[in-house]
Structure 1
Amino acid sequence: MSDSQFVSRINQLDAVQLDNEIYKVLRGQAEEVTKYFAPGKAVKWKPEIDVLVKYLIWNYSLKKNSTTFGQQLLNLSYKNLDRRKALLLFVLSSVPNYLRERFINENFIFSRLPTAYQRSRYKGYVDQVDNFLHLLNFIWSFFFLYYGNQSRFVEKILGLRNYSSDMNRPRSIGYSYMTRELLWHGLIELFTIGLPMIDLKVVQRLWNDMWVPKKKEITIVTSCKLESNALCAYCNQLPIFPRWAGCPHVFCYYCLEALFLTMDPYRCPLCNNQLYYKNVKSCLNT
């Protein structure tokens, strides 16, 4: 493709994505309308409703303006699109999905077949065709990345190519928007890296030491009595390999080991007593 006809790949992909999002919005509005119908009525005719929504989108976009709504938003259009190709584009984009949904629904088509063998056989054929079409679209995506045009295989079949309607118009770049995006992504990376490195329990303890009135010192006990409903003072779960470090509360082995790796002595989050690693004992042996 010559430079004068170059169309960015990302713009073509964005146009297809915008078309899909517009369809989903209108399909959601149609579901809001049909939810007041009798139960099961709208579900029975769901494929037909989907085709009707796609037809309305096609009628007011490709049929009248030779561009889809997504292309109009990005100043793109099809080259050499006539009425016949526009109709074929609608048929090839909508009919296969409609047939797939109808054939996959065994109660609508396959239930008319006389034997279970025939039902499973024809359903297998439909699944194979469906898988082949998906594989074809997947392979064509690599050709699109190489050649840079015709993002969908149906465009290749009809010989449709994208071109920009404002090729000679200078593109304006919002540097203020780019600055905000760079700042935002920088903050996200900072929070993503920094937050896991902050020990919130230590921050809470420092806050309590500064603003919360200190409690009276609790006498350090010399034994640990493990009750059936005892919970870890740090994770508030049933203690795993329960340990005791001098205060009346019980800790998990892993919680206490991790806490003493960060600081020694460590203050109990419940009674604010200072705990020392040298006093750690197993509650199972006392």
Structure 2
Amino acid sequence: MDKNMQVPERLRKITLTISSLLFQFTIYAHDSTIGQQILNLKYSGSEGQSLWMSRRQKILYGLILIVCPWLRERAETLASFVGLSKYQAKIRKVLRWLDISLKLAAVWNFLVFLQRGVYQTITERLLGIQAMFPSRQGIRQVSFEYMTRELLWHGFSEFLFFTLPLVNFQRVKNFVRRHILNHHEDPALDGLRVMECAVCEDVPTNPQEIGCPHLFCYYCIQSNYKADPGFSCPRCRTSIPSVDSIRPYRTVIS
């Protein structure tokens, strides 16, 4: 056998084994899938006196769930094995029409399920089984206070998500720094150029000046001015008349 054919064959065997084990320890053992066990649901059958699935229904469910897809994947290989290679084109055509028919049946079943609320899948309808609670559900007193609170916070969060992008926080920050904090420069530094950025207070990267004795990083001054055209120097309150007032710092060599 070709090595390229061995890998898919091994994967099919592994998939078949895992599917069989899952079926054995879920539907066959407990009459419910893993998801139904979490929701405390079980399949009920209509055969005999038992409320839950009969052994016959479980075996048919396993054949439909596991064996049929496995045979569908190996149809051409099995046709070659039994000497029907010359009919492979017809077999593929029949399988294609079967797939289309099953999809149409699934759509029809879904529409009926939306109307009547029973038999969610074709398999459930064919076997006459449906998911239900093992014990009768008691009447619960439902309080809508929690729902009201959740709706209130949901509406408030939606309002914040809409309004926050519209707020220019850089302009608000500059306004607070300018009019509320009232930070004043030390008079002893008047006329002296401080060799640190007036915004980030670090050594300026690509130093810029705006006409006052202070330096700025290129990114600090440009970002602040673009976010707030009324931006002024945080230390001496020198304003920026226009973007042309921001220029690279040049040392004066005497």
TM-score category by the smaller chain?
A: 0.5 to 0.7
SS in 2 for 1:207: helix
Q: Point out which structure has higher relative CO (alpha carbons under 8 A, 6+ apart).
A: 1
- Any unmatched runs of 5+ in structure 2? 46-52, 178-196, 200-207, 213-221, 232-238, 244-254
- What is the deviation of 1:67? 2.6
- Amino acid in the other structure paired with 2:43: Y
Partner of 1:213: 198
- Amino acid in the other structure paired with 1:45: R
Return the alpha-carbon distance in structure 2 between the equivalents of residues 110 and 209 of structure 1. Answer: 81
Aligned pair partner of 1:49 in 7, 14, 18: 14
Aligned pair partner of 1:203 in 164, 169, 173: 169
TM-align CA RMSD: 4.4
Aligned pair partner of 2:135 in 159, 166, 169: 166
Residues 42 and 178 from structure 1, CA distance in 2 versus in 1: closer, same or farther, beyond 3 angstroms?
farther
Partner of 2:48: none
Return the alpha-carbon distance in structure 1 between the equivalents of residues 211 and 97 of structure 2. Answer: 74
Q: Deviations over 1:153-183 (max 9, x none)?
A: 1111111133222224344769797578546
Partner of 1:65: 30
Q: How does 1:1-286 map to 2 (within 5 A)?
A: 43-80=8-45, 81-103=53-75, 122-171=91-140, 182=151, 185-186=154-155, 188-196=157-165, 198=166, 202-207=168-173, 213=198, 216-217=209-210, 273-275=240-242
Residues 87 and 111 from structure 1, CA distance in 2 versus in 1: closer, same or farther, beyond 3 angstroms?
closer
Paired residues, number: 188
SS in 2 for 1:45: helix
Return the alpha-carbon distance in structure 2 between the equivalents of residues 172 and 90 of structure 1. Answer: 40
Return the alpha-carbon distance in structure 2 between the equivalents of residues 158 and 46 of structure 1. Answer: 29
SS in 2 for 1:135: helix
Return the alpha-carbon distance in structure 2 between the equivalents of residues 102 and 145 of structure 1. Answer: 35
SS in 2 for 1:78: strand
SS in 1 for 2:119: coil
- What is the deviation of 1:87? 0.9
Q: TM-score, normalised by structure 2?
A: 0.54
Return the alpha-carbon distance in structure 2 between the equivalents of residues 110 and 186 of structure 1. Answer: 62
Q: TM-score, normalised by structure 1?
A: 0.49
Partner of 1:251: none
Residues 168 and 205 from structure 1, CA distance in 2 versus in 1: closer, same or farther, beyond 3 angstroms?
closer
Return the alpha-carbon distance in structure 2 between the equivalents of residues 183 and 51 of structure 1. Answer: 50
- Amino acid in the other structure paired with 1:62: I
Return the alpha-carbon distance in structure 2 between the equivalents of residues 111 and 128 of structure 1. Answer: 21
- What is the deviation of 1:61? 2.1
Contact 1:78 1:160 in 2 (8 A): yes
Return the alpha-carbon distance in structure 2 between the equivalents of residues 60 and 173 of structure 1. Answer: 36
- Any unmatched runs of 5+ in structure 1? 1-37, 220-232, 235-246, 248-255, 277-286
- Amino acid in the other structure paired with 1:129: L
- Amino acid in the other structure paired with 1:93: L
- What is the deviation of 1:57? 1.7
Q: Deviations over 1:133-165 (max 9, x none)?
A: 122212211111111111111111111133222
Identity in percent: 26
